[in-house]
């Protein structure tokens, strides 16, 4: 059975102002949990800065979906 | 506050490069008291100056290694450095290589899938005939399972049949909603418990006694004493925690409350969320109707369902419970939002304009969460998605009216939205019920699938049907573009007692696992893995938050799937940064795709004050006739969610790739969108009620 502690709270890293330290800790926690993530802290820290569910509003996804629909139809025409 | 936001805000406040330049400095020239590392390349130096990139040893070495080792043209490489600089990404060789790959190459979905299939042959998690032979199960049970497998029955189906025979056909369906995951997980867990018990008790092992314990556990769960079970260890712990399992079971059995056989009409025993029984019955009826009106597409599923009562009951029960849970969660959200809106429309309560804006912001965030994070859009019709989208657009308009002191106009909109929302009813779409049932039963229609194979099927089956915001988000998520964020979120929210982290499977994670486990693979496989992972990472680097003070750019490689092939479409986005969010009312999108019949094409979508102008750039005169009616129709669809279609223009193709790339650079952003910035009223910065 897997066992590991909770990833340290974001607030503690905030004091250190250290996103890369947070990323390094996350890599260790993921190794213990058998979750595969980017192993380069200089890349990981950017990957965890964006949540695609929040940073892009649903209306924009809708527009993108509309264009995909148009392109699919042109390709099939 | 949302996860990581505090850190992001810190990053924005300081140098956009985030990290302090604390390199071990050994050489370089001293400028203003600190050593600077200058590139030997004048053009690179000019870029570093222009974007104020710290001249650290790391950046200098990264750029030199990238310029030396990457096989791209010098022009492309300089452009990559400029885009990285503009987005505030460190100049490490791997960062530059990832961005280079993402913007200069197509994402090869088909090749990635091929690697998965090759690499997935001996994947873990698949129960084979050999595994069954090794299982510590009572001999007669094992013999029966193996006999079934030899006669061609898939392994999982043989296991399900054996459990049905041992515990009664309705047994597995009782676990629906209590054991996490799909039916194959339930079967694995149950088999594992039997193995452990059999090993502990040897000849004394009594299937009937175990069945009684399970029954007691289910009773306890029904009374709210149970919890979600995610592993055999949890199930054993739950069994052990029953004060006197056999005694409870005896009581249950003495009272004649035998484990009831589930039917479509008789599901109230297990309805875990039946706070409104009539409504839940209605959901059960919809599920029943949907599963009875299957067409050819799901005939395979029905054949499997009719073949075994165990499987049939489990599938029907799990679909019903799922739909009831989703319906209940919609009702909960709906009621919370209506309550909030009531504080705005109520005559008795008088809120200040700022308070009203704050309440509306909370409701908008809730609606957005329903659309982007909940299961609700996955099981309901696209009409409902559109209607919820329109509500969030309308509420944002109300906020803007308040900023212009048009209180009456804002109230009228809020009243209208309140009416629409109160009348909204979650009704599962028949097609989506069937798709969910098919997924639940698919383990029994063919051989058990490895994680890789499931991923392949998910991606191969991806073809957008109709226009849906959620389907695009879920495509990005299934590629793994949100993987690391969601892992960090799960790890941060982990409760002390939780031992396992459940991550939704996605292509990026599976590719990383393959890369880790398959070091011995052929050169071509390793190369494809690296290319694919670099491409996905490059997109993530370009989409990082905290790029600039006022602008946010994004970039995606979108696979367009049709019958014959998978095609790559590049999407460049730039927008004002509206509090760590793109501003959907004022932004630009640029799509670049090579069309089969019409050749290279760029489509620019400019949105200004919700007005949408589309410009198609292409050199084939025949494209206009085909695409114009489709874009006109798209205009109508966009109007349904609060946008306004303005015009469609056609221009010859220019240097369209360059045009897209320029959208990712800081300079062009200010040129392109200066006029947009002045028209936007930045209301309510700093509010975030999503906690």
Residue A43 pLDDT level (bands cut at 50, 70, 90): very high
In this prediction, residues B385-403 reach a mean pLDDT of: 95
CA distance to B347, B481, B529, B564, per residue, from B109 (Å): 56, 14, 11, 14
Question: Residue B218 pLDDT more than 50?
Answer: yes
- CB-CB neighbors (< 8 A) of A33 in chain B: 491, 500-501
Report the CATH fold assignment for B323-425: 1.20.120
pLDDT in the model for residue B452:
55
Optimal mutation site among A9, A60, A72, interface B, most CBs of chain B within 10 A: A60
pLDDT tens-place string over residues B514-550: 887 766 566 667 788 889 999 999 999 999 876 556 7
Domain boundaries, chain A: 10-76
- CB-CB neighbors (< 8 A) of B595 in chain A: 71, 74-75
Q: Which of B116-130, B157-171, B214-228, B669-683 has the highest mean pLDDT?
A: B157-171
pLDDT in the model for residue B666:
66
B534 within 8 A of B68, measured Cβ to Cβ: no
- CB-CB neighbors (< 8 A) of A37 in chain B: 483-484, 487, 509, 512
Q: Does B492 touch chain A (CB under 8 A)?
A: yes
Q: Across the A/B interface, how many CB contacts are shorter than 8 Å? A: 240
In chain A, residues 57-76 whose CB comes closer than 8 Å to chain B = 57-76
Question: Percent of chain B scored above 70 by pLDDT?
Answer: 70
In this prediction, residues B276-288 reach a mean pLDDT of: 73
pLDDT tens-place string over residues B51-74: 888 888 888 899 999 999 999 999
Residue B123: count other Cβ atoms within 10 Å of its Cβ.
18
B344 within 8 A of B359, measured Cβ to Cβ: yes
* Nearest residue, CB atoms, B582 vs list A14, A30, A60: A60
Contacts 24+ apart (CB under 8 A), A45-48: A45/A19, A45/A20, A45/B18, A46/B89, A46/B540, A46/B541, A46/B544, A47/B483, A47/B484, A47/B485, A47/B537, A47/B540, A47/B541, A47/B544, A48/A19, A48/A22, A48/A23, A48/B4, A48/B484, A48/B485, A48/B488
In this prediction, residues B321-335 reach a mean pLDDT of: 90
pLDDT in the model for residue B526:
79
pLDDT tens-place string over residues B403-442: 999 989 999 999 999 999 999 988 888 778 877 777 776 6
Distance CA B392, CA B386 (A): 10
pLDDT tens-place string over residues B466-492: 889 999 999 999 899 999 999 999 888
First to last CA, chain A: 53
In DSSP terms, B557 is beta-bridged to B570
Q: Which ipTM score applies to this complex?
A: 0.87
Q: Does A13 touch chain B (CB under 8 A)?
A: yes
Residue B367 pLDDT level (bands cut at 50, 70, 90): very high
Optimal mutation site among B2, B3, B4, interface A, most CBs of chain A within 10 A: B4
In this prediction, residues B234-247 reach a mean pLDDT of: 63
pLDDT in the model for residue B332:
94
| B550-691: CATH class | alpha beta
pLDDT in the model for residue B274:
42
In this prediction, residues B3-20 reach a mean pLDDT of: 44
* Nearest residue, CB atoms, A67 vs list B477, B481, B605: B605
Question: Residue B273 pLDDT more than 50?
Answer: no
B283 within 8 A of B316, measured Cβ to Cβ: no
Contact A37 B489 (CB under 8 A): no
Question: Residue B232 pLDDT more than 70?
Answer: yes
In this prediction, residues A63-69 reach a mean pLDDT of: 95
pLDDT in the model for residue B684:
32
- CB-CB neighbors (< 8 A) of A41 in chain B: none
Q: Which of A42, A35, A44, A32 is nearest to B510 (CA)?
A: A35
pLDDT in the model for residue B58:
86
CA distance to B146, B148, B161, B453, B520, per residue, from B155 (Å): 9, 8, 10, 16, 30
Question: Residue B300 pLDDT more than 70?
Answer: no
pLDDT in the model for residue B299:
59
Contact B92 A2 (CB under 8 A): no
Residue B380 DSSP one-character state:
B
Residue B223 DSSP one-character state:
T
Of the two residues B324 and B217, the one the predictor is more confident about is B324
In degrees rounded to 5, what are phi and psi of residue B8?
Answer: -65, -40
Q: Give the chain A residue nearest B489 (alpha carbons).
A: A48
pLDDT tens-place string over residues B116-137: 666 544 444 567 788 888 888 8
Segments of chain B assigned to CATH 3.30.750: 550-691
* Nearest residue, CB atoms, A36 vs list B10, B512, B587: B512
Residue B108 pLDDT level (bands cut at 50, 70, 90): confident
B171: which 2 tokens? 């047994």
pLDDT in the model for residue B554:
94
- CB-CB neighbors (< 8 A) of A61 in chain B: 372, 469-470, 472-473
pLDDT in the model for residue B210:
81
In this prediction, residues B306-333 reach a mean pLDDT of: 80
Q: Which of B61, B53, B51 is nearest to B24 (CA)?
A: B61
pLDDT in the model for residue A4:
32
In this prediction, residues B169-187 reach a mean pLDDT of: 68
Residue A34 pLDDT level (bands cut at 50, 70, 90): confident
Taking all residues of chain B, what is their mean pLDDT, rounded to a whole number?
Answer: 77
Lowest-confidence pick of A37-51, B43-57, B603-617? B43-57
Residue B276 pLDDT level (bands cut at 50, 70, 90): low
- CB-CB neighbors (< 8 A) of A71 in chain B: 560, 569, 591, 593, 595
Q: Give the chain A residue nearest B589 (alpha carbons).
A: A64
Contact A14 B627 (CB under 8 A): no
Lowest-confidence pick of B391-400, B493-502, B623-632, B652-661? B493-502
B528: which 2 tokens? 């494809």
B532: which 2 tokens? 């694919």
Question: Residue B357 pLDDT more than 80?
Answer: yes
> Is the dihedral angle over the CA atoms B15, B18, B22, B28 positive or is it negative?
negative
pLDDT tens-place string over residues B589-598: 999 999 989 9
pLDDT in the model for residue B221:
64
Nearest Cα of chain A lies from the Cα of B484 at a distance, in angstroms, of 6
Nearest Cα of chain A lies from the Cα of B500 at a distance, in angstroms, of 7
- CB-CB neighbors (< 8 A) of B588 in chain A: none
């Amino acid at each position: 059975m897997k066992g590991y502690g909770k990833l340290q709270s974001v607030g503690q890293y905030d004091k250190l102002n250290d996103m890369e330290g947070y990323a390094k800790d996350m890599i260790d926690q993921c190794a213990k949990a058998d979750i595969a993530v980017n192993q380069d802290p200089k890349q990981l820290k950017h990957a965890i800065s964006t949540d695609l569910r929040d940073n892009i509003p649903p209306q924009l996804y809708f527009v993108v979906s509309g264009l995909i629909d148009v392109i699919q139809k042109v390709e099939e025409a | 506050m949302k996860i990581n936001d505090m850190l992001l805000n810190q990053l924005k406040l300081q140098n956009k490069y985030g990290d302090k330049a604390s390199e071990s400095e050994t050489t370089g020239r001293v400028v203003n008291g600190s050593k600077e590392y200058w590139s030997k390349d004048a053009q690179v130096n000019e870029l570093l100056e222009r974007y104020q990139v710290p001249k650290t040893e790391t950046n200098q070495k990264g750029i030199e290694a990238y310029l030396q080792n990457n096989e791209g043209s010098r022009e492309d490489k300089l452009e990559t450095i400029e885009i990285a600089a503009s987005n505030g990404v460190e100049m490490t060789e791997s960062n530059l290589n990832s961005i280079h790959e993402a913007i200069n190459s197509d994402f090869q979905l088909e090749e990635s899938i091929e690697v998965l299939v090759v690499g997935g042959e001996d994947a873990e998690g698949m129960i084979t005939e050999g595994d069954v032979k090794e299982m510590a199960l009572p001999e007669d049970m094992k013999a029966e399972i193996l006999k079934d497998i030899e006669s061609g029955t898939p392994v999982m189906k043989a296991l399900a049949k054996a459990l049905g025979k041992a515990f009664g056909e309705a047994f597995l369906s009782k676990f629906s909603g209590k054991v996490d995951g799909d039916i194959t997980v339930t079967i694995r867990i149950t088999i594992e418990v039997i193995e452990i018990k059999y090993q502990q008790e040897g000849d004394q092992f009594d299937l009937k006694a175990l069945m009684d314990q399970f029954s007691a556990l289910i009773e306890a769960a029904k009374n709210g004493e149970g919890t979600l079970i995610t592993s055999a260890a949890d199930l054993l712990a739950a069994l052990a925690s029953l004060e006197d399992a056999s005694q409870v079971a005896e009581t249950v059995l003495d009272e004649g409350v035998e484990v009831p056989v589930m039917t479509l009409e008789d599901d109230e025993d297990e309805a875990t969320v039946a706070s409104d029984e009539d409504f839940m019955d209605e959901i059960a009826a919809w599920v029943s109707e949907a599963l009875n009106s299957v067409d050819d597409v799901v005939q395979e599923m029905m054949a499997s369902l009719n073949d075994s009562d165990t499987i049939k009951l489990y599938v029907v029960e799990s679909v019903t419970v799922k739909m009831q849970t989703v319906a209940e969660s919609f009702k909960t959200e709906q009621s919370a939002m209506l309550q909030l809106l009531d504080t705005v429309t109520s005559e008795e309560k008088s809120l200040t304009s700022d308070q009203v804006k704050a309440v509306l912001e909370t409701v908008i965030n809730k609606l957005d969460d329903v659309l982007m994070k909940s299961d609700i859009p996955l099981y309901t019709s696209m009409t409902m998605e559109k209607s919820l989208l329109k509500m969030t657009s309308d509420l944002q308009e109300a906020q803007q009216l308040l900023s212009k002191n048009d209180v009456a106009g804002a109230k009228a909109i809020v009243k209208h939205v309140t009416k629409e929302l109160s009348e909204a009813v979650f009704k599962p779409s028949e097609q989506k019920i069937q798709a969910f049932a098919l997924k639940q039963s698919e383990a029994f229609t063919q051989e058990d699938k490895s994680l890789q194979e499931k991923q392949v099927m998910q991606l191969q089956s991806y073809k957008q049907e109709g226009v849906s915001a959620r389907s695009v988000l879920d495509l990005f998520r299934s590629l793994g573009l949100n993987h690391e964020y969601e892992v960090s979120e799960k790890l941060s929210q982990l409760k002390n007692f939780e031992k396992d982290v459940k991550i939704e499977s996605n292509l990026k994670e599976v590719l990383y696992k393959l890369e880790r486990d398959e070091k011995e693979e052929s050169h071509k496989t390793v190369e494809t893995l690296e290319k694919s992972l670099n491409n996905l990472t490059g997109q993530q680097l370009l989409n990082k938050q905290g790029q600039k003070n006022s602008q946010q750019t994004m970039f995606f490689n979108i696979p367009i799937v049709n019958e014959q092939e998978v095609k790559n479409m590049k999407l460049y986005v730039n927008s004002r940064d509206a509090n760590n969010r793109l501003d959907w009312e004022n932004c630009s999108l640029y799509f670049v795709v090579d069309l089969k019949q019409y050749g290279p094409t760029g489509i620019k979508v400019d949105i200004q004050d919700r007005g949408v102008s589309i410009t198609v750039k292409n050199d084939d005169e025949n494209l206009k006739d085909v695409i114009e009616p489709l874009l006109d129709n798209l205009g109508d669809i966009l109007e349904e969610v609060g946008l306004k279609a303005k015009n469609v223009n056609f221009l010859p193709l220019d240097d369209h790739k360059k045009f897209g790339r320029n959208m990712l650079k800081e300079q062009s952003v200010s040129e392109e969108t200066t006029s947009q910035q002045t028209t936007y009223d930045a209301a309510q910065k700093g509010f975030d009620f999503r906690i």
